[in-house]
Amino acid sequence: MSKPLILVTNDDGITSRGIQKLVELVSTIGEVVVVAPDSPQSGMGHAITVGDTLRLKPSNIFGDIQAYECSGTPADCVKLARHYVLKDRKLDLVVSGVNHGSNSSISVLYSGTMSAAIEGAIEGCPSIGFSLCDYDIEADLSHIDEFLVQIVKEALKKGLEEGVALNVNFPPIQRQKIKGIKVCRQANANWEEDFDERTDPYGRKYFWMVGNFVNHDKGEDNDETALANNYVSIVPCQFDLTAYHAIRQINEDWDI
Amino acid sequence: MSKPLILVTNDDGITSRGIQKLVELVSTIGEVVVVAPDSPQSGMGHAITVGDTLRLKPSNIFGDIQAYECSGTPADCVKLARHYVLKDRKLDLVVSGVNHGSNSSISVLYSGTMSAAIEGAIEGCPSIGFSLCDYDIEADLSHIDEFLVQIVKEALKKGLEEGVALNVNFPPIQRQKIKGIKVCRQANANWEEDFDERTDPYGRKYFWMVGNFVNHDKGEDNDETALANNYVSIVPCQFDLTAYHAIRQINEDWDI
- Give me the interface pTM, i.e. the ipTM: 0.95
Q: Per residue in A104-153, pLDDT tens?
A: 999 999 999 999 999 999 999 999 999 999 988 888 899 999 999 999 99
pTM here?
0.96
Could you tell me if A238 lies within 8 Å of chain B, comparing CB atoms? yes
pLDDT at B74: 97
Q: Which of B209, B210, B245 to mutate to test the interface with A (most CBs of A within 10 A)?
A: B209
What is the fold, at CATH topology level, of the domain defined by A5-187+219-253?
Stationary-phase Survival Protein Sure Homolog; Chain: A, (3.40.1210)
- CB-CB contact of A49 with B43 (8 Å): yes
Query: Measured between CB atoms, which of A53, A190, A236 is closest to B250?
Result: A236
Neighbours of A52 (CB within 10 A): 11
Do A256 and B186 count as a contact with CB atoms less than 8 A apart? Answer: no
pLDDT of B1 over the 80 cut = no
- CB-CB contact of B143 with B197 (8 Å): no
Q: Per residue in A162-185, pLDDT tens?
A: 999 999 999 999 999 999 999 999
Do B238 and A242 count as a contact with CB atoms less than 8 A apart? Answer: yes
Dihedral sign (CA A58, A62, A67, A69): negative
Superfamily in which the B5-187+220-253 domain is placed by CATH: Survival protein SurE-like phosphatase/nucleotidase (3.40.1210.10)
CA angle, A198 then A200 then A203, to 5°: 100
Give A141-190 as a 3 state SS string: CHHHHHHHHHHHHHHHHHCCCCCEEEEEEECCCCHHHCCEEEECECCCEE
Report chain A residues whose CB lies below 8 A from the CB of B207.
53-56, 80, 84
Q: Residue ranges per domain, chain B?
A: 5-187+220-253
Q: Per residue in B181-201, pLDDT tens?
A: 999 999 999 898 899 999 999
- CB-CB contact of B92 with B4 (8 Å): yes
Query: Measured between CB atoms, which of A45, A207, A249 is closest to B47?
Result: A45
A positions 107-136 inside 8 Å of B (CB)? 108-110, 115, 118, 122-123
Neighbours of A255 (CB within 10 A): 8
B155-169: average pLDDT: 96
**Cis peptide bond upstream of A98, omega within 30:** yes
- Percentage of chain B surpassing pLDDT 70? 100
Q: Per residue in B11-23, pLDDT tens?
A: 999 999 999 999 9
Nearest to A47 by CA among B84, B47, B206, B120: B47
A positions 75-114 inside 8 Å of B (CB)? 75-76, 79-80, 82-84, 106, 108-110
B22-39: average pLDDT: 98
> What is the DSSP-derived secondary structure letter of residue B51?
S
For residue B6, the Cα-to-chain-centroid distance in whole angstroms is: 15
CA distance B174 to chain A (A): 19
Q: What is the dihedral of CA A27, A33, A38, A41, to 10 degrees?
A: -80
pLDDT at A1: 63
Measured distance CA(B91)–CA(B83) in Å, rounded: 11
Measured distance CA(A131)–CA(A95) in Å, rounded: 11
Do A250 and B184 count as a contact with CB atoms less than 8 A apart? Answer: no
Q: What is the DSSP string of A47-71?
A: ----SS-B-EEEE-TTTTSEEEEES
Measured distance CA(B110)–CA(A241) in Å, rounded: 12
Measured distance CA(B218)–CA(A47) in Å, rounded: 28
* Burial (CB count <10 Å: 0-12, 13-18, 19+), residue B138: exposed
With b for 16 or more beta-carbon neighbours within 10 A and e for fewer, the A137-171 pattern comes to eeeebebbeebbeebbbbbbeeebbebbbbbbbbb
Do A241 and B242 count as a contact with CB atoms less than 8 A apart? Answer: no
